[in-house]
Structure 1
Amino acid sequence: MLATDIQLARAASVAALATEGVHAMGRGRFVEAATYEGAEKVSGVVVDPEKVEIHVVVRWPLPKPIPEIAGSIRERVAPEAAGRRTIIMVDDLEVGADENL
């Protein structure tokens, strides 16, 4: 059975947040990145018929390169995505208070 858009958005959010190096879900750049169904909203994930767009904030220092973090998220989401293209957008970088760049 195929997941609804909101179920897919929930699963993508959980998968992204469980990935090493992800600090939080992103909000998008010019418009809010979210999927809506009824009164429910999943922030940081946009689901449409062709793609799943996942917006994240990564943590500094990075545990691994950003392309590897994105690949890990894609692998976690692929079983739920039903063949949709999965795009990972890094919206921001979270630097700890005791970390210096």
Structure 2
Amino acid sequence: MDDLQLARAVREAALATTGVHSMGTGRYAEAATYGAGEKVTGVVVDPDEVRVHIVARYPLAEPLPALAERVRERVASRAEGRPAMVVVEDLEVEQNENL
């Protein structure tokens, strides 16, 4: 599997995790994996690790470290033996329509 395929699989797994609102974009540099005419935002595939940048839903159903661990466990099987690191970049506040 090439880096783009791996990044797409990792992104899909992260977004399927309850509590994840979206993928992060990076704070100081863009968090993405690049290929021919394509980029996968929110996942950085390096030879030694995979970094996953997420935006969590708020209110939280669990503490952020627990959410990050669930995302890490979910993407680890797709990381081809590379350690997975999860960066929680931000929180997205769910709008309550009853207010």
TM over 0.5: yes
Matched with 1:89 is: 87
CA drift at 1:96: 2.1
- Overall identity of the aligned pairs, in %: 57
Matched with 1:67 is: 65
Aligned residues: 97
In structure 1, stretches of 5+ residues that fail to align are: none
Q: In structure 1, what is the Cα distance between the partners aligned to 2:74 and 2:5?
A: 14
Which residue identity is paired with 2:90?
D
**RMSD over aligned Cα atoms:** 1.3
In structure 2, stretches of 5+ residues that fail to align are: none
TM-score (normalised: structure 2): 0.91
Q: In structure 2, what is the Cα distance between the partners aligned to 1:97 and 1:73?
A: 24
CA drift at 1:89: 0.4
Q: Deviations over 1:31-67 (max 9, x none)?
A: 1100011011100000010010000000101111111
For the residue of structure 1 that corresponds to 2:77, the secondary structure is helix
Q: Deviations over 1:14-46 (max 9, x none)?
A: 011100110000000101100011011100000
